[in-house]
Amino acid sequence: MTAHVLPPVEEPRRFEGVGKQALETGRNRLLVTAAVITLAFVGIGARLVDLTMIGGTEADDHAELITQPPALVSRADIVDRNGVVLASSLPTASLYADPKNVIDPKDAAEKIAGLFPDVDPKKLTRNLERGGRFVWVKRNLSPEQQLNANRLGLPGFAFIAEERRIYPHGALNAHVLGATDIDGKGIAGVEGYFDQRLRQSSNPLALSIDVRVQSILHTELSAAVHEFKAIGAAGVVYDVQTGETVAMVSLPDFDPNDRSTYNGDARFNRATLGVYEMGSTFKLFTAAMALDSGTIDLKGGYDATKPIRIARFTISDYHARNRWLTVPEIIVHSSNIGAAKMALDVGGVGQQAYLRKFGLLRDAALELPEIGHPITPSPWRDINTMTISYGHGIAVSPVQLTAAIGSLVNGGILRPATLLKHMPDTPVGGERILSKETSDKMRMLMRLVVAKGTGRKADAKGYYVGGKTGTAEKEFNGRYKKKALISSFVGAFPIQNPRYVVFAMIDEPTGNKRTFNYATGGWVAAPVISRVVAQIGPLLGVAPLNTNEEPLTLPAIDDERLKLSKSAPNMNLVKKASVSNGVVRPVKTLRQPPSLPTNAPSVPRRKAEPPPGSLENETPDERIARKTREALEQAFAAQ
């Protein structure tokens, strides 16, 4: 038998030792790797604790600004009363740089400036070399600009998502909407007044403005400024039933889409911030307070035969009639003499009380930051009472005047002007300041001015406008500047049932051949009202009357009144002034005018005597301007 030789016992034991050694080596490597990973996580964790709980360095804060830009907050839209968007926000990209990662600041700045001409390469280079972690390069890029900047491929430059405020109608609503700064914060107009509301709510802000009416008013005022070479203009359309401001324009204006235009005179809101002496439009308030207080009635009147002389100062009439005038004739012929005497009968205290009721002695409560403060005399003397009666010696804003006129025609209710849309289910606020009977009389007087007086050019076919012209010299450094006029007209339509008041003011117009070189309110501003009313009436749902008959029964004036009167005026109705021939007397001591002979005309006509020192070669326009200026100079000197 063949014997089998068994392997040596030591061979398996040798292989078993090699395996154990390899296993031990692998285990050690895993332990080392795990230790390294653990240390890495411990380091990262320590850094996170340092950043979140302890705080980092200034450079770390800048780095965080780049990697974690502020959250984008959308600003609510602004819409007109019909839902037309007036202001909205669009997403845009803005270019910034992290100077730490910019390799060649000078080269990068030159490339950026080549793409954006308004970027100063030297200034950008200095900002990049100054250090830090964040530098604005260009804000609010268009998609094309963003694409071109991205194509440069410059290290250290990136984009941040932002919003840009846009105004689809450009300059049309400039002084209503105002503007925002580059960071989207409201700085003027509705944008400034309602800044928090627009930031915190996503619901659109609905204004009372009708962009269609706004466009018409803007167009007509711009045409007047161009034709009469004026330095500016203002206009308002006001709803007398709700107090809503349907349109408001101030010229010159600016384009809120282009911040470079938001400067100088273009920023000034003539409709709300500017305060002006409104001239003869104030005679409407004088008549209203006299009628409402029972001082006089429509059949009463005043002697306007001669100018009022106080020491060396004179108050005279531009369209002098040189006779006794009824209240309607005082308004139609715009008699300064009659208005002054009427105001003296009401008294300075009474005048102030009514003007305060009209809202003309306090700031307008309109939703804008740009609100002007009325200028009033202090103390309030008799000379102030007289000059204020025809709109001199007191300055108010166009929006104040418009709302006050609204109270004359809407039944006697003062409704403060607002820029917010009135919701149908919301009660309309207001305060009664005149009786309905007084309001009815004022509508007749205002219609009389347009039908037979200085406001004929304001009439619009079918809409029967009623209103009043106003012309006043502007004051510079305490003196009135000749031929620097504020020419205006304020009107209501339809006068038989007024719904809207329209105001137009032209600042320093120059007369032309068409106006026979006149630059007064009747020639310059009244035609603007006519054109505006004719266009906005149909848009606002006001149906014209297709008739040639007057909708109101108008008082008889001038020859018509004289024909109806078979005897001299009833002297019980004649209010003699407390100022005559330069002597101030109490009203109770006034003497009655002499009785008229039976065969004499009922109203004697005499040529007014020229004041001492008058110039023989003066035109009537120059004479009345000088006399009015002299009276006002005394008013300011007495303050």
Of 535, 175, 575, residue with least CA distance to 339: 575
- CA distances to 36, 53, 60, 64, 271 from 48, in Å: 19, 8, 12, 13, 58
| Residue 469 in this model has a pLDDT that exceeds 70 | yes
Alpha-helical (H) ranges within 268-425 are 283-292, 327-332, 336-346, 348-357, 382-389, 398-409
Q: pLDDT (tens digit, 9 = 90+) per residue, 199-212?
A: 998 899 999 999 99
What's the gap between Cα 58 and its chain centre? 46
| Residue 588 in this model has a pLDDT that exceeds 60 | no
Q: Which CATH superfamily includes the segment(s) 78-206?
A: Penicillin-binding protein 2a (Domain 2) (3.90.1310.10)
Query: What would the mean pLDDT of 601-628 be, rounded to a whole number?
Result: 45
Q: What is the pLDDT of residue 132?
A: 84
Lowest mean pLDDT segment, chosen from 63-67, 92-96, 108-112, 473-477: 63-67
Q: Give the 3-state secondary structure of residue 459.
A: coil
Lowest mean pLDDT segment, chosen from 331-345, 444-458, 551-565: 551-565
- CA distances to 167, 246, 548, 603, 623 from 536, in Å: 23, 11, 21, 43, 39
Q: What is the pLDDT of residue 583?
A: 30
User: Which two three-digit tokens encode residue 517?
Assistant: 């070189």
Lowest mean pLDDT segment, chosen from 14-18, 149-153, 361-365, 478-482: 14-18
Q: What is the pLDDT of residue 314?
A: 85
The neighbour count for residue 106, using CB atoms within 10 Å, is: 14
Q: What is the pLDDT of residue 557?
A: 85
Q: What is the pLDDT of residue 31?
A: 72
Contact predicate 315/628, CB 8 Å: yes
Lowest mean pLDDT segment, chosen from 173-177, 424-428, 530-534: 424-428
Categorize the per-residue pLDDT at 267 as very low, low, confident or very high, splitting at 50, 70 and 90: very high
- 215-638 matches 78-206 in CATH topology: no
Lowest mean pLDDT segment, chosen from 42-46, 126-130, 284-288, 550-554: 42-46
Lowest mean pLDDT segment, chosen from 70-84, 195-209, 237-251: 70-84
| Residue 477 in this model has a pLDDT that exceeds 60 | yes
Categorize the per-residue pLDDT at 566 as very low, low, confident or very high, splitting at 50, 70 and 90: low
| Residue 619 in this model has a pLDDT that exceeds 70 | no
**Rounded mean pLDDT of the chain?**
83
Alpha carbons 404 and 399: distance in angstroms, whole number: 9
| Residue 73 in this model has a pLDDT that exceeds 80 | no
Lowest mean pLDDT segment, chosen from 46-55, 165-174, 442-451, 576-585: 576-585
| Residue 187 in this model has a pLDDT that exceeds 70 | yes
Categorize the per-residue pLDDT at 123 as very low, low, confident or very high, splitting at 50, 70 and 90: very high
Over pLDDT 90: what percentage of the chain?
Answer: 61
Categorize the per-residue pLDDT at 407 as very low, low, confident or very high, splitting at 50, 70 and 90: very high
Q: What is the pLDDT of residue 627?
A: 54
Contact predicate 280/387, CB 8 Å: no
Q: What is the pLDDT of residue 270?
A: 97
Q: What is the pLDDT of residue 610?
A: 38
| Residue 59 in this model has a pLDDT that exceeds 70 | no
Question: For residue 122, what is the enclosing H or E element?
Answer: helix 121-129
Lowest mean pLDDT segment, chosen from 162-171, 250-259, 578-587: 578-587
Categorize the per-residue pLDDT at 482 as very low, low, confident or very high, splitting at 50, 70 and 90: confident
Q: What is the pLDDT of residue 32?
A: 67
Q: What is the pLDDT of residue 602?
A: 37
Query: What would the mean pLDDT of 462-480 be, rounded to a whole number?
Result: 90
Please give the residue that has the higher pLDDT: either 70 or 466: 466
CATH number for domain 215-638, candidates 3.30.420.40, 3.40.710.10, 3.30.460.10, 3.40.50.970: 3.40.710.10
Query: What would the mean pLDDT of 487-511 be, rounded to a whole number?
Result: 96
Query: What would the mean pLDDT of 270-284 be, rounded to a whole number?
Result: 96
Tell me what percent of the chain is helix, strand and coil, each rounded to the nearest 5. 40, 20, 40
| Residue 384 in this model has a pLDDT that exceeds 70 | yes
Query: What would the mean pLDDT of 533-539 be, rounded to a whole number?
Result: 96
Please give the residue that has the higher pLDDT: either 473 or 34: 473
Q: What is the pLDDT of residue 445?
A: 97
Phi and psi for 420 in degrees, rounded to 5?
Answer: -100, 140
Q: What is the pLDDT of residue 609?
A: 35
Q: pLDDT (tens digit, 9 = 90+) per residue, 297-335?
A: 999 999 999 999 876 678 998 878 889 999 999 999 999
Q: pLDDT (tens digit, 9 = 90+) per residue, 343-377?
A: 999 999 999 999 999 999 999 999 999 999 999 99
Lowest mean pLDDT segment, chosen from 405-409, 570-574, 620-624: 570-574
Alpha carbons 298 and 291: distance in angstroms, whole number: 8
* Catalytic member of 94, 280, 335, 389: 280
Query: What would the mean pLDDT of 423-434 be, rounded to a whole number?
Result: 88
| Residue 175 in this model has a pLDDT that exceeds 90 | yes
Contact predicate 163/74, CB 8 Å: yes
What residue ranges do the domains of the chain occupy? 78-206, 215-638
Q: What is the pLDDT of residue 600?
A: 35
Q: Give the 3-state secondary structure of residue 229.
A: coil
Query: What would the mean pLDDT of 273-280 be, rounded to a whole number?
Result: 95
**Helices 382-389 & 620-638 angle (0-180, nearest 10):** 140
| Residue 1 in this model has a pLDDT that exceeds 50 | no
Alpha carbons 625 and 454: distance in angstroms, whole number: 17
Lowest mean pLDDT segment, chosen from 241-255, 426-440, 600-614: 600-614
Q: What is the pLDDT of residue 592?
A: 38
Q: Is 530 a catalytic residue?
A: no
pTM for the full predicted model: 0.76
| Residue 394 in this model has a pLDDT that exceeds 50 | yes
| Residue 559 in this model has a pLDDT that exceeds 50 | yes
